[in-house]
């Protein structure tokens, strides 16, 4: 038994010491942290410039009526002498001149913006929204609708998903977050199973082409060598995950405050939201839609059981990986060089690819019949089940899927080891399917 | 005492019979040559002894008990298809292979230092294998085979791929191992090396053992009663004397005459010499034994025609 540990140790240390592993471990967190920080950083960069827009309003309807924001300010001209303001534009220092012509009541194409730069989308959206709203109000008022009625009629709707759990509890639900999580989990599992499985296969081929394999199997059983390799590679992958998570969190918390001082404030807010949920619930108003969304996300975060996710992720990753890497090890033993693997790789990895293709469907409709079966059938279940997990899967289904996966992986490993132990000692020829069938029967 | 015995070992791959009831007895402390043409079943037998494959029937007895997994700690094997991890450091790799044979890390390191010094490759400890010359790789390969001081060593075609200098070094080391009490099984079709270093041989052809015994006995068994004779005297007279008992194949006249001939059935060398001694002065007489190469070819041809 101690020999299998010696093999695991070698498989692990030689891979962890490789340059490619170290580069991947360092580059990954930089990329992840950049992905986390970049959107916030970009938003900040956009908004920091204060834009003062000179409004030349020939209708006089909009005077002092356009709402300002932190970064968009309006200055209204006393008259509508556009030519004069245009001539003085350079010296005036305004960001742009907004000209609203008389026609604006009848035609949508009556608003013009003059500037020496291209006004940002934000600015244009803000102005057109405000003008539309103002016109709408004015027109309604012209038809005799009272402002009070107007205010009462307007309601903005944001849907709050409430999920009724098996034991009758109600939980807030945020579909977007779950979809992202679902896709990420399924995809991550697909990628890691594929990559680590490939690493196992290349290891087997390396031993075969280096002709060291016969030396080793005179000391240990082929099964020990195969399992040692598979376990060693899985530990390498788990180490990589752990490094990515720790380094990403470390990098993010070190760099984010420097680049985005606002995040500290945001975190405070989020704490406020999560801790004082009830307080906020009382002050729910229709105007607070954005704030509602944030609250929704946070409460969804609370409703997602990360413990279950972590456990199921580890379980389905390990079992799925063992299942496929045993098959990949057998493929490695069947061939004499890497270019011969293609014809075997395709049929073996097909179920995994199908699960990946179905993944977009899985995340939008996790409980459909197709996705139910995909998450039960052992060859696709690791990817599909993981994608279903964020939405919540009944324990009975989870249990059925897990048991089937374990049974299959034991059976497949047993068959694979039979192919493996004969295949590794075949030099210079590619096995035919008939021969492989004989190896399995023997 | 026999260190290893195989009893009626059979192995089949599909329709192909690799070994057909092969029984061998290998006494302790000898160099045993396992001979046979390519594809005869030598490597299959060796893999069975190393427990890489299991026989379909028959038993292998090692030091008096049926072969069991722990026995690999006492067996060293250098396969015909051999190699090392190219990207791994030489020292680490040698320690790893020794650990797989059951040595502790510290023990393996200590023994390796001695061997590396002996073979003058000490400074290569921290280099990767791919940086080593072929000859040095073979030295490392040999060291990893013998490091755990096995009682039984198995070399499958040991000289293939070795340059003459390293081949000679290997031969010296093998003889040294024998002197220190190890038993060596030596699989080859290089007959010259067999005559030089083997004590016993077994010849396998088409999955069957067709011949075994000590090298001396086998050469006696295959001898064709050929002799060589040097004399001083009358050439015609001696031919006449020899005629009834043996046929003369070559005859060189001169100051000293040389005859090579073959004894006829029913006569002995002693009878021949008794006839000749009163008449001519014999300066040299020797029995010519067939070379192992001749025996090998003859035995294989005989078994193929059977």
Instruction: Tell me how close the Cα of B52 comes to any Cα of chain A, in angstroms.
Output: 6
Name the residue facing B72 among A207, A218, A425 (closest C-beta).
A218
B304 part of a folded domain: no
Q: Tell how strand B16-27 and strand B2-13 pair up.
A: antiparallel
The length of chain B, given as a count of residues: 306
B41 shares a domain with B112:
yes
B252 part of a folded domain: yes
B294 part of a folded domain: no
- Mean pLDDT on B224-232: 89
What's the pLDDT at B154? 94
Strand arrangement of the beta sheet that strand B200-205 belongs to:
B75-78, B152-156, B183-188, B31-35, B200-205, B208-214
A219/B72 touch (CB, cutoff 8 Å), yes or no: yes
DSSP A385: H
Instruction: Tell me how close the Cα of A238 comes to any Cα of chain B, in angstroms.
Output: 23
What does the alpha-carbon distance between residue A95 and residue A97 come to, in Å, rounded to a whole number? 7
Predicted confidence band at A188 (pLDDT cuts at 50, 70, 90)?
confident
Side-chain half-sphere CA neighbours of B2 within 13 A: 16
Residues 6+ apart with CB under 8 A from A423: A330, A333, A334, A431, A436, A439
B302 part of a folded domain: no
What's the pLDDT at A1? 60
ipTM (interface predicted TM): 0.82
What's the pLDDT at A282? 41
What does the alpha-carbon distance between residue A206 and residue A200 come to, in Å, rounded to a whole number? 10
B93 part of a folded domain: yes
Q: What are the tens digits of pLDDT across the range A121-136?
A: 778 888 888 888 888 8
Instruction: Tell me how close the Cα of A18 comes to any Cα of chain B, in angstroms.
Output: 10
Q: Is B187 on the interface with A (CB under 8 A)?
A: no
B203 shares a domain with B235:
no
| Among candidate residues A11, A441, A420, the one with its CA nearest the CA of residue A235 | A11
Dig out the tokens for B205 from the structure. 């052809």
B52/A212 touch (CB, cutoff 8 Å), yes or no: no
- Mean pLDDT on A226-241: 93
Q: Per the structure, how many domains does chain B have?
A: 2
Q: What are the tens digits of pLDDT across the range A359-381?
A: 888 888 888 888 899 999 999 99
B230 shares a domain with B125:
no
What does the alpha-carbon distance between residue B164 and residue A199 come to, in Å, rounded to a whole number? 39
The CATH number that applies at residue B250 is: 3.30.70.60
Question: Which residues from chain A sit within 8 angstroms of residue B14, using beta carbons?
Answer: 435, 438
What's the pLDDT at B185? 94
Instruction: Name the residue in chain A with its Cα closest to that of B82.
Output: A211
B40 shares a domain with B110:
yes
B295 part of a folded domain: no
To the question of domain A50-153 being in CATH 3.40.190.10, the answer is yes
Name the residue facing A210 among B69, B77, B83 (closest C-beta).
B83
B115 part of a folded domain: yes
B301 part of a folded domain: no
What's the pLDDT at A301? 60
Q: What are the tens digits of pLDDT across the range B5-27?
A: 999 999 988 788 889 999 999 99
The end-to-end CA distance of chain A, in Å, is: 25
The number of beta carbons lying within 10 Å of the beta carbon of residue A118 is 10
What does the alpha-carbon distance between residue A423 and residue A128 come to, in Å, rounded to a whole number? 71
Domain that holds residue B251: 224-288
Intervals of CATH 3.40.190.10 along chain A:
50-153
Instruction: Write out the DSSP string of A84-151.
Output: HHHHHHHHH--SEEEEE-GGGGT-TT-EEEE-SSPPPHHHHHHHHHHHHHHHHHHHHHHTT--HHHHH
B168 shares a domain with B57:
yes
């Amino acid at each position: 038994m101690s020999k299998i540990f010696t093999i695991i140790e070698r498989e692990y240390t030689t891979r962890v010491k490789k340059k490619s592993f170290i580069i991947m471990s360092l580059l990954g967190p930089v990329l992840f942290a950049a992905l986390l920080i970049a959107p916030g950083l970009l938003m900040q960069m956009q908004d920091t410039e204060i834009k003062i827009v000179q409004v030349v309003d020939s209708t006089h309807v909009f005077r002092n009526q356009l709402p300002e924001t932190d970064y968009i300010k309006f200055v209204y001209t006393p008259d509508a002498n556009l030519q004069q303001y245009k001539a003085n534009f350079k010296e005036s220092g305004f960001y742009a001149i907004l000209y609203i012509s008389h026609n604006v009541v009848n035609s949508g194409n009556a608003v013009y913006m003059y500037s020496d730069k291209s006004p940002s989308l934000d600015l244009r959206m803000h102005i057109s929204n405000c003008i539309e709203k103002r016109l709408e109000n004015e027109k309604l008022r012209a038809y005799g609708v009272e402002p009070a009625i107007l205010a009462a009629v307007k309601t903005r709707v944001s849907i709050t998903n409430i999920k009724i759990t098996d034991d009758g509890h109600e939980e807030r639900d945020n579909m977007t977050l779950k979809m992202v999580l679902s896709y990420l989990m399924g995809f991550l599992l697909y990628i890691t199973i594929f990559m680590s499985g490939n690493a196992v296969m290349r290891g087997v081929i390396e031993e075969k082409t280096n002709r060291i394999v016969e030396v080793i199997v005179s000391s240990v059983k082929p099964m020990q060598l195969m399992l040692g390799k598979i376990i060693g590679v899985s530990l390498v992958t788990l180490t990589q995950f752990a490094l990515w998570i720790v380094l990403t969190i470390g990098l993010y918390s070190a760099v984010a405050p420097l680049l985005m001082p606002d995040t500290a404030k945001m975190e405070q807010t989020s704490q406020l939201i999560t801790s004082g949920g009830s307080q906020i619930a009382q002050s729910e108003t229709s105007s607070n839609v954005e704030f509602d969304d944030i609250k929704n996300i946070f409460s969804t975060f609370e409703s997602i059981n990360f413990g279950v996710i972590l456990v199921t992720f580890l379980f389905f990753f390990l079992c799925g990986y063992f299942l496929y890497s045993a098959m990949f090890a057998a493929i490695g033993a069947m061939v004499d060089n890497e270019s011969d693997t293609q014809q075997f790789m395709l049929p073996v990895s097909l179920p995994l690819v199908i699960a990946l293709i179905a993944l977009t469907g899985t995340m939008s409709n996790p409980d459909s019949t197709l996705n139910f079966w995909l998450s039960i059938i052992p060859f696709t279940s690791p990817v599909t089940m993981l994608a279903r997990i964020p939405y919540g899967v009944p324990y009975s289904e989870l249990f059925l899927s897990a048991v089937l996966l374990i049974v299959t992986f034991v059976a497949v490993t047993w068959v694979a080891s039979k192919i493996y132990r004969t295949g590794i000692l075949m030099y210079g020829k590619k096995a035919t399917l008939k021969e492989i069938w004989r190896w399995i029967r023997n | 005492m026999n260190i290893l015995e195989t009893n009626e070992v059979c192995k089949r791959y599909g329709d192909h019979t690799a070994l057909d009831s092969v029984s061998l007895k290998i006494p302790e402390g000898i160099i045993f040559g396992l001979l046979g043409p390519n594809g005869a079943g030598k490597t299959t037998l060796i893999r069975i002894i190393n427990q890489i494959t299991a026989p379909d029937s028959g038993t292998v007895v090692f030091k008096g008990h049926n072969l069991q997994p722990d026995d690999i700690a006492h067996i060293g094997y250098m396969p015909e298809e051999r190699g090392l991890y190219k990207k791994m450091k030489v020292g680490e790799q040698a320690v790893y292979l020794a650990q797989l044979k059951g040595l502790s890390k510290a023990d393996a390191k200590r023994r390796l230092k001695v061997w590396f010094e002996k073979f003058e490759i000490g400074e290569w400890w921290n280099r990767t294998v791919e940086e080593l010359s072929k000859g040095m790789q073979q030295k490392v390969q040999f060291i990893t085979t013998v490091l755990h001081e096995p009682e039984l060593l198995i070399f499958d075609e040991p000289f293939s791929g070795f340059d003459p200098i390293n081949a000679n070094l290997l031969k010296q080391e093998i003889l040294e191992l024998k002197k220190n009490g190890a038993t060596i099984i030596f699989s080859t079709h290089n007959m010259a090396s067999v005559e030089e270093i083997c004590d016993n041989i077994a010849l396998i052809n088409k999955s069957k053992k067709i011949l075994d015994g000590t090298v001396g006995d086998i050469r006696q068994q295959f001898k064709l009663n050929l002799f060589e004779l040097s004399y001083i005297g009358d050439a015609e007279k001696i031919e006449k004397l020899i005629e009834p008992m043996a046929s003369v194949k070559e005859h060189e006249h001169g100051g000293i005459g040389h005859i090579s001939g073959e004894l006829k059935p029913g006569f002995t060398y002693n009878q021949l010499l008794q006839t000749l001694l009163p008449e001519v002065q014999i300066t040299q007489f020797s029995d010519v034994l067939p070379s192992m190469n001749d025996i090998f070819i003859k035995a294989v041809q005989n078994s193929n025609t059977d």
